[in-house]
Amino acid sequence: MTLVTSIIIISGLFLIIYCIIIIGFTAGWFRKVKNENKDLVNIPFLSVIVAFRNEEANLGNLISHLKAQDYPSNKHEIIFSDDFSQDSSIEIIEKEIQGSEYFRLIKPGNGDKPGKKAALLRAMNMTRGEIIITTDADCFMGKHWLQTIAREFQNNEIKLILGPVDIIANETVFSHFQSLEFMSLTGSAAGSAKIGKPVLANAANLAFRKNAFEEIKSKIDGVHLSSGDDIFLLHAIKKEFPKGVKFLMKKEAVVYTHPLKSIGEFYRQRMRWSAKATSFKDLFTLITGAVVAGLNIFLVAGFFMAFFFPAITQPLLLIWIAKVLIDLPLITGVAIFLKKVRLLGLYIPLQLIYPFYVSSTLLLAALIKSSWKNRK
């Protein structure tokens, strides 16, 4: 068997498994879910945690949106947990929350550990709510956000809710590409959760029962990593409560965030995400990640081989076209949900660069230690 034949066969096998996975995610996304909790009968106490570091440019906007929530002020608390900020973040928060009874600020002590995960845990130990919700300092949301999440927890079977996150594109083409690419992650997160096999979580919009967390916290993997609080929590909840994870596909639940400003910043973020995968133990997540990575790596390898072995061009082009077609319904569904159908005009250009982006991210993640705000 020649090298060209081997590349074609392996790529084809990856494509078949990839198609099965994406068809499953797509079926999950479009699956109708009965809305059982229209009215908020029992009002749970909510604890919203925002771990932050050097976010002076974003905190004012987030706080104004949190103050605008139409949830009873005596039934929720907002906890800001600092990760050793070196800018004016602390001063901004203290000024914005002055006189408010349901906003709190936690400052780290000399003996406290640095890192986002440590900041979250410090806050979690001080929460009063039965439901804990996390978001990020560079995010904002609509006024019905908390109420929409609280309604879902009237179903006692729900232990963790994955909320939708949307990147707000600005005038740059780079931001449009980020928004479109992130929509594919949203679709995968929602589709996998709705078929009972969730693979992705985002701490920018995550909610879970405190008693469920207490029950599984000793079983959460990745404790040696400074990040990954969201995905490792998902895996632990999923294992202990197989039917306890839900993706909240409602417009009122969307959390919005800003695009990254540079390609370097974008790559550093994706490298952090990739680096966590080596600590995953959830089998379906591992298989999904391996198939996505494998298919894209072989497409890139085939592209370069085509310069020396032209015979590989046609079968590899067919594999790429099949991938483009199989991905389209899912990302179209997300685009319709987020009212961003116009971004689909960039779908083909994104599919052209996507295999190279995935392959280079994996390579860089393997060679270079990633960092978050000067945290290795």
CATH numbers and ranges of domains, the chain: 3-28+280-367 (no CATH), 35-277 (3.90.550.10)
Count other Cβ atoms within 10 Å, centred on residue 273: 16
Residue 42 has pLDDT above 90, yes or no: no
Query: pLDDT band at 368, cuts 50/70/90?
Result: confident
Question: CA 360 to CA 274: how far, in whole Å?
Answer: 11
Single out the residue of 367, 312, 368 nearest to residue 12, CA to CA: 312
Average the pLDDT over each of 16-20, 208-212, 266-270 and give the range with the smallest value: 266-270
Query: pLDDT band at 36, cuts 50/70/90?
Result: low
Contact 220, 236 (CB under 8 A): yes
Burial class (CB in 10 A: 0-12, 13-18, 19+), 157: exposed
The pLDDT assigned to 38 comes to 63
Residue 6 has pLDDT above 90, yes or no: no
Contact 124, 49 (CB under 8 A): yes
Query: pLDDT band at 374, cuts 50/70/90?
Result: low
The pLDDT assigned to 369 comes to 63
Q: How large is the greatest C-alpha to C-alpha distance in the chain, in angstroms? A: 74
For the chain, give the number of residues: 376
Query: pLDDT band at 1, cuts 50/70/90?
Result: low
Percent of the chain with pLDDT over 70: 95
Contact 183, 334 (CB under 8 A): yes
Q: What is the mean pLDDT of residues 193-222?
A: 94
Single out the residue of 68, 198, 213 nearest to residue 133, CA to CA: 213
Question: CA 113 to CA 2: how far, in whole Å?
Answer: 54
Alpha helices by DSSP H, listed for 195-244, are 210-216, 229-240
Q: What is the mean pLDDT of residues 180-205?
A: 96
Burial class (CB in 10 A: 0-12, 13-18, 19+), 283: exposed
Burial class (CB in 10 A: 0-12, 13-18, 19+), 76: buried
Q: What is the mean pLDDT of residues 314-328?
A: 96
